[in-house]
Amino acid sequence: MVTKAWKWSGNAAAESTHRRIHLDYDLPTRKDVVYFPLRKVVATRGTTVGSTDTEDARRALEDIAARRRQVDAANAAPLPWWYLVGTAAGLWAIGASQDFSTSASIMAAGLVLFIATNTGLERSRRVRSRARIPGVWLVAAGAIGVLLVVDIGVLIAARLAHAPRPNTIAGAAMALTFVALAVCIQRITRARLRVGRG
């Protein structure tokens, strides 16, 4: 009986360690090529034990590590420009709405833009990594805090300076701060993932 064993990589190097045997079966015309393991067979699964199989296992583990890096890289991809622009515009509209007589509709438009870009970002994702960056919620809460401080701070300053449309100025400051924070957080996240991957 001939044991038919498959190899993980299936490449020429791996095959070279196997004796290639041509067998004439009682089949009509063709010959069947069987790869026959030279080494000891473990159980009945065709898993051979020896240097070739160690190499096989090593390659498999390397592939697994590479796939993990692929997932992490996909998750750390730069934020799309439309997300940054859309969310910043939404924040600006929400902040600026109080300066206009049609404040409700401007605020509603800002909210719709904000939600739409965030939903769009979520839908554009093709994979979600299981890697969890420690303290990510703390960073998110901190970012929201910074946005509020900037908004309120600029608003107070603009009012004290008797600037026209202080809410618009504060909204714009908040939107710009959002873009800066998003880019910074993205870079930090990527660096931490890189460190995590070793």
Partner 1 sequence: MSGVYPGFDEVIHPQPRLSIMALLAAADWAEFGFIRDSVGLSDSALSKHLSTLEQAAYVTIRKTNTGRRRTTDLRLTRQGRAAFDAHVSALQALIAAARTPPEGEPPPGS
Count the neighbouring beta carbons within 10 Å of the beta carbon of residue 8: 14
By CB under 8 A, name the one of 129, 163, 165, 190 that touches partner 1: 129
- What is the contact mask toward partner 1 in residues 89 to 128, using x (rule: CB under 8 A)? ----------------------------------x--xxx
198 binds partner 1 (CB under 8 A): no
Query: From the list 72, 91, 151, 166, which residue makes contact with partner 1 (rule: CB under 8 A)?
Result: 72
Using CB under 8 A as the binding criterion, the count of chain residues that bind partner 1 stands at 33
User: Each residue of 77-108: b (16+ CB within 10 Å) or e?
Assistant: eeeeeebbebbbbbbbbbbbbbbeeeeeebbe
Does residue 168 contact residue 99 with C-beta atoms inside 8 Å? yes
**At 36, which helix (H) or strand (E)?**
strand 32-36
User: Is the Cβ–Cβ distance between 174 and 147 less than 8 Å?
Assistant: yes
Identity at 7, one-letter amino acid code: K
Q: Among residue numbers 12 through 71, which ones bind partner 1 (CB under 8 A)?
A: 40, 42-43, 45, 47, 49-51, 53-54, 57-58, 60-61, 63-64, 67-68, 70-71
What minimum distance in Å lies between the beta carbon of 51 and partner 1? 7
CB of 97 to partner 1, least distance (A): 29
Beta strands 40-42 and 47-49, pairing class: antiparallel
Binding status of residue 194 toward partner 1 by CB under 8 A: no
Q: Which of 1, 10, 29, 160 binds partner 1 (CB under 8 A)?
A: 10
| Helices 166-197 & 81-96 angle (0-180, nearest 10) | 150
Rounded to whole angstroms, the Cα distance separating 166 from 175 reads 14
CB of 164 to partner 1, least distance (A): 42
Chain residues that interact with partner 1, rule: CB under 8 A: 6, 8-10, 40, 42-43, 45, 47, 49-51, 53-54, 57-58, 60-61, 63-64, 67-68, 70-72, 74, 123, 126-131
